[in-house]
Every structure is written in structure tokens, then in C-alpha cells.
Structure 1
Amino acid sequence: MRARKSGWVGVWFDLARTTARASGKINRAAGKATAKRAGPALRKAATQMLTGVATPTPPPATRGGGRWEVGRWGLGPMAMRRYRLYLPPGVRRPLPLVVLLHGCGQDSASFAATTRAAANARAGGYAVLLPEQASEANPNRCWNWFGREPVVAMEAAILKAIVEHVCDVHRLRADRVFALGLSAGGAMALTLALRYPGLFAAVGTHSGAVPHSASSALQAGHAMRGRRSPEIAGLRQRLGGRRLPPLIVIHGDVDRSVASANAEESVALWLGLMAPVVASAGISRTARRGARHPYAVTDWKRDRRAYVRMVRVAGLGHAWSGGAAKQAFSDPRGPDALKLFWRFFEACVA
């Protein structure tokens, strides 16, 4: 009788699949008849293997104006992370800041390309900060949203330090900081909000697992399959009466890496931590832009404005909705996720 595979093994296989494909490309390229044809394929596949980035991308350029800056910051020499910061052109007043946390198999350059960060920031009039996970901290470049408490706490503290540093140096609006991320980055964005709720005006997660639901790889796999829930009592005690920032969740309904049940769990977590304040019942509507995937929006209101929003995108897998073509974990056919996030964020502080 064949042994049954544990569910979490399949989850990690899905997320690591691009690395396996890269390895296959190396083998195929090595077998080609001419070195001239094999060279580019080998170089690309080798870069994928060495960097842990599924689609290595050149540093973002400033074709539309503004400027990109690269820096390193953290809690000391042994706890530093690289980051990219985009500042749009022609703005004199202090800007809001959107913190974008990439997913596994990505870095700041590839995620900037996937989300069209610079173009959206110019249109919205905000700065964009993209911290970058070090391969030394996680071989797959995943943010450590689960694990032993000291590991998760350190990861969150490093990101908080980067945000505060950037706001201070560039005179950005510390009262208008928003955090969001994809997959592991989405789970990390919500982890940040649960640890430092006063730091953010609103937060969001795209295709992310529900935070504070796992302390091991096995548990994380179950959480990603939608089989674990966070302990609300412990989180309520940690918050100590502090108010959580508004939340927006975006998830595809055919995501096979992180089950869409995680979107529901994240919403339930936020609504549960709002007690004794009660949000109004969810109000739903549907929308579609041309030939793009349709999506459904459900709002839970507090003080007559949306406080928690869930966006379900039909036909979207484990990918950034409306992302750039030829990028891993990106689906150009979906509605533009960063625009959806920004509309919600703007409404939260209007």
C-alpha cells in the first residue's frame, strides 16, 4: 500500500516548482547542439537557481520620471535588508508611503515590474517601498511569516525599522503608511499590522495565508490549505486594546497554492479582533473591466465606511491580479490589484 503524502508537502512543491523548472532548463540547455544557443538559456536558468528569483529582472528604470533609490537598513550589521524606494516626480508635499512585500521566488526588482509599482505610484501620488528578503534569511526568499516566535518577531522588527528609516530620511507621511504583499508577503503585511497596528493607516494581503496560524512548516502547509485558524484570544491580549488598521484582502478563486479559505480566515480574524465593536454585515457587489477577470467585492463597514474589504477574483490562480506579462506569479488578465488596493487605502484616510 502506497504511503499517503502529507498536504503540506504538496504546498511547498507548488511554491518551489519554478526553481525545479529552472533546473530543468539548465539540463535542457546543456544538451543543445551549439554553445551559442545554449548560452543565454544557461545563464538565465543559472541566475534563477543562484538568486532564488523565478523571473530575474533588471533594476527598475525611471522612464516616466521620478527616481529609484536603493538602500540597506535594519537592526544592526547582522539584521539588515536591502530595499528599493520609488519617489514620483514633481511632488513637493510629504507623500504617503505604500510598502510592497514580495512573495516567494521574487525580489524587489521583479515585484516592482510585476505590480507596475512606479507607474501606479506616479498616478496615485505616493512613494513605494519594496523591502527585499535576503536568501540567507530564507533560501526561497519568502518572508518568515511563520516559525518560532523570535524569528517572526525579528523579521517584523527589521521591516518596521526600514519603514521608519525611510519615512524619516525622505520626510514621508508617517501617518499615511500602508502595507500590502503577495503570498508570504501578504501574510507578513498582516503580521506587521498585528504587531505594530499604530504604524499603518491600512493594510492588505493578496493571495496570502492567514497570519499567526503556524509555528512550523507542517502547520504552515495546513494553513495554506485552509486547515488552520489563528488564536484570536492570544492576539487580542497582545493588542491590548489597540485598534487594528483597516484591511483589504484580494484572492483568486482557483488558487492551488494558498487556498482562498485563507481570505475568509483573515477577514474573520480582523472582525473577531474588532470586538466589542461590531462591523455591519458584509455588503457585496460584482464588477468587470472589459475582458479582464470578473471580481466580487464584499465590504464590512464601521462608522459608515468600509473597514474590511474582501475581493474575490474569478479565474485567478496564485498570481498578482493584473500583473505584468512574462513575470512569474503574475496574471495580466485580472483587474489591477495595486489600483484596487490604493482606492481602498485612499478611502480609509479621506
Structure 2
Amino acid sequence: MARRKSPLLTAFSRLARSSMRQGARISRAAGRQGVAAGERFADSARHVLSGVMTPAGAPGPLTGGSWSEGRWGLGPMAMRHYRLFIPAGATARKPIPLLLLLHGCAQDSAAFAASTRCASLARDKGFAVLMPEQAREANPQRCWNWFGSPLQIGLEAKILMSIVDHVQAAHPRLRGPLFALGLSAGGAMALTLGLQFPARFGAVGSHSGAAPFSAGTALQAGQSMRGRRSPDAEAIAKHLEGRAPPPLLLIHGERDRVVDAGNARAAAMLWLDLQPEGQAIVERTGRVQRGKRHAVTRTDWLAGRQLRVRLLEVAGMGHAWSGGAAGQAFSDPAGPDALRLAWQFFALPRERGRSRTV
């Protein structure tokens, strides 16, 4: 009699095989946008070995908080390295929020920490930052596997949530509200987490990410990134079983040539379709520009007084983190500070379904 394989081992095997094909397609597209910054590192052995476009050293000491590192996952075949920043003064008696921050393709947690300068804002605003790192064994280009079969996507999501659970168990002071935000593939994965585990997140956000649950193959992923596929709303609604997804923030450059800006609109429409029936949705739009930074068109969708979706479209920006540090790939210093804008949204009071806009 043939021995039956474990469903979990089968899922790991499929994920590994598909990631080789999927990651190459995404990396080629992403590389075209990051090549200018990456050329300076062409001779760097660390770049070649790490799969990171612009490598950065480990985050340095910061007054008012501390970095730590760890490794966790679902078992020997699904372990991930992570970095964790905790601001000073956090106690178990008054838990602080935890932001799950997911890097994009050709990045790792150190490079993404350098680009976003997340520790400084976390220290000033009083929240912790958890930055898992995709393994090259899971995806050669370090992309989070945001598309594939439901089993593959679900496995990636469970690995990330296992890290969240591990960190919160080890640090009770981090059991405040949980949020997720990511760039590109990380953004698509953050929205996937919000749909897979809606009760766990206070809000989720995507910066320059593809619409979640819009592709099952590498070919379809390329189509999704070009704005030619839509999310499977029916399947998502079935999974949610009448539950509303968490509030959503979307940030996208209007000139993004890697992930078409239409993905942000598609994700917004998906979220609005998933709202409970009978809710009247009000749309408000405005345009803001401060100093010489890129202008931003902000569109809010509200149900009553509750802000459900916010879309920030950044004029003149490509596939890059808005307001990111100079010298890092996928980083545009001329844009408004994306992480600060995200935290403004995440920190909105939502008790008893009430919210205010900023």
C-alpha cells in the first residue's frame, strides 16, 4: 500500500516549487524599478547571497527603545527570522499596539527597517514593530507568497500569525491592538491576513500591493499586477461568513509601473463589497500637498461615522515606499511619510463603531 503524504508536507512542497516560478516573475518586474539604487551594490557579495537589492546593517541602538531578533514558525520546514522593536516604558498592565510590518520583494527586515525608519516613529508614538523576514528557501526573491492555491496562501498566513502569537506570548506588554502593513508583496500579504483573520486585526494596510486573492498562478499574478484581474469576492465572502473585514488603508503611487495603481482601487471596492448589507457608504475625496513633497489624493469611504477604507494616491510616485530613506531601493524620499500616514489611520478611535478623520 502506498504511504499517504502528510497534507502539511505536501503544502510545503507545493509552496517551495511554486515560489521558484512566482518569485522570478515578480522580481524581474520589481528589479526594473529598483535597478538605479541597486547598481551601486552590484559587486557586493552580501547582495548576491542575500537576495536583497540594497542590503542594510542590523538596526542600531536607539534611545527610548530596543531591537531584538528571533526565529519562529510552524516547524523545522517553516521557520522565519524576525526583528522586533519595543519602545521603552511598555508594561503588561497597559499593553501597547503591535504593528506587523512586511517587507517587499528583494528586501529583508533590516533593509525595510532602514527604508521606513520605523523604530523612530514607533518610539515616539508608543507602539511595537514586528518585522518577519521571508526565507530564500520559501521564495528566492524574498517575496511573500501572496498568491497560489488557497492551501499555499493559507500556509503563508499561518506562518506569519504563528510568529505574532509567539511574540505576544513572550511579551505580554505587546497584547494591545494588532495592525498589519506591508509593501508590494508584503502589502498583498497584509490584506490577506486581514481577510483570513479579521477578528485579530484592528486595521490593515497595503502600500503598492496587488489586490489579495486575485491570482492562483504566476501568470495570473502578473496579470493582477498589471491591473487585469479582480479579487474573488465570492470566495472571500464565503470565508468571512458575514464578518466584516477590518478597516483598510491603501497607499499607492500613481506612476507605479510594477503594480498598477488600479490594484488599490480594486482592493478598496472589494472591502466595500464585503461590508454588512444595509450600510450606507459615503465617499469623501480631497487633495493635500505639503511643501515640496508629492501631492496626495485622499479618498475616504465611511459607513455612518465609521471610516472603513482610506485610499491615498501619491502623485508622481512609482513603485516605492513614500517618504522612505534615500539610498534604499523601492524608496522615494520625496513622498509624504507613509508610515506616519498609516499610523494616523491605525490610531483612529474605533470604540463602539465611532471614528474621526484626519
TM-score exceeds 0.5: yes
Residue number in structure 1 paired with 2:192: 191
Gaps of 5+ in 2: 1-22, 352-358
Alignment of 1:288-327 (within 5 A): 288-327=289-328
**1:1-350 alignment runs, 5 A limit:** 12-17=27-32, 42=43, 44=44, 46-92=45-91, 93-349=94-350
SS across alignment from 2:179: strand
Matches of 1:171 and 1:279, distance apart in 2: 39
Q: CA deviation at 1:189?
A: 0.3
**1:120 Cα deviation (Å)?**
0.8
Equivalent-residue separation in structure 1 for 2:38 and 2:334 (angstroms): 28
Output the CA distance in 1 between the equivalents of 2:306 and 2:250. 16
2:46 maps to a residue whose letter is: T
Number of aligned residue pairs: give it: 327
Change (3 A) 1:117 1:110: same
Q: Give me the whole-angstrom Cα distance separating, in 2, the residues matched to 1:130 and 1:234.
A: 29
Contact 1:175 / 1:199 at 8 angstroms: preserved in 2? no
Moved more, 298-307 or 244-253: 298-307
Distance apart, 1:25 and its partner CA = 6.8
Change (3 A) 1:291 1:21: closer
TM-score normalised by length of structure 2: 0.87
Shift of 1:165: 1.3
Tell me how far 1:10 sits from its aligned partner. Answer: 8.1
Q: Distance in 1 between matches of 2:226 and 2:274?
A: 23
Relative to structure 1, is the Cα distance of residues 19 and 289 closer, same or farther in structure 2, using a 3 angstrom cutoff?
closer
Q: Distance in 2 between matches of 1:24 and 1:66?
A: 34
- Name stretches of at least 5 consecutive residues in structure 1 with no aligned partner: 1-7, 27-40
Take 1:289 and 1:22, find their aligned partners in 2: how far apart are those partners? 26
Task: Measure, in 1, the Cα distance between the counterparts of 2:304 and 2:176.
Answer: 20
On the 8 A contact 1:100/1:181 being kept in 2, the answer is yes
Change (3 A) 1:316 1:14: same
User: Structure 1 pair 172/270, CA: closer, same or farther in 2 (3 Å)?
Assistant: farther
Whichever residue aligns with residue 172 of structure 2, its letter is R
Distance 1:311 1:266 in 2: 13
1:261-306 per-position Cα deviation (integer Å, ceiling 9, x unaligned): 0000000000011141434221011112211101011111123031
SS at match of 1:243: coil
Asked if structure 1 preserves the Cα contact closer than 8 Å seen for 2:27 and 2:106, the reply is no
Q: How far apart are the structure 1 equivalents of 2:166 and 2:188?
A: 22
C-alpha separation between the residues in 2 aligned to 1:19 and 1:49? 15
| Alpha carbons 1:252, 1:315 under 8 Å: kept | yes
d(CA) in 2 for partners of 1:339 and 1:321?
Answer: 10
Shift of 1:310: 0.4
**Structure 2 residue identity aligned to 1:48:** H
Residues 11 and 77 (structure 1 numbering): CA distance in 2 closer, same or farther, change over 3 Å?
A: closer
1:253·1:313 contact (CA, 8 Å) conserved in 2?
yes
Runs (4+) of structure 1 exceeding 3 A deviation are 8-12, 16-26, 172-175
SS at match of 1:16: helix
Match for 2:114: what amino acid? A
Could you report, residue by residue, the CA deviation over 1:206-230 in whole angstroms, capped at 9, with x for unpaired residues? Answer: 0000000001110000000000001
- Percent of aligned pairs sharing the same letter: 53
- 8 Å CA contact retained: 1:105, 1:140: yes
Alignment partners' CA distance in 2, 1:241 and 1:135: 37
CA shift for structure 1 position 167? 1.4
2:95–2:176 Cα contact (<8 Å) kept: no
How far is the alpha carbon of 1:24 from its aligned partner? 7.1
Cα RMSD (Å): 2.1
Alpha-carbon contact 1:279-1:300 (below 8 Å) kept = no
Inter-partner Cα distance in structure 2 for 1:236 and 1:348: 26
Q: Deviations over 1:294-347 (max 9, x none)?
A: 101111112303111000000110000000110000001000000010000111
Give the Cα separation in 1 of the matches to 2:330 and 2:158. Answer: 27
TM-superposed deviation, 1:22: 9.5
Tell me the TM-score normalized by structure 1: 0.88
Residues 308/190 of structure 1: CA separation in 2 closer, same or farther (3 Å cut): same
Distance 1:279 1:191, change over 3 A: farther
8 Å Cα contact 1:175-1:200 kept in structure 2: no
Structure 1 counterpart SS, 2:182: strand
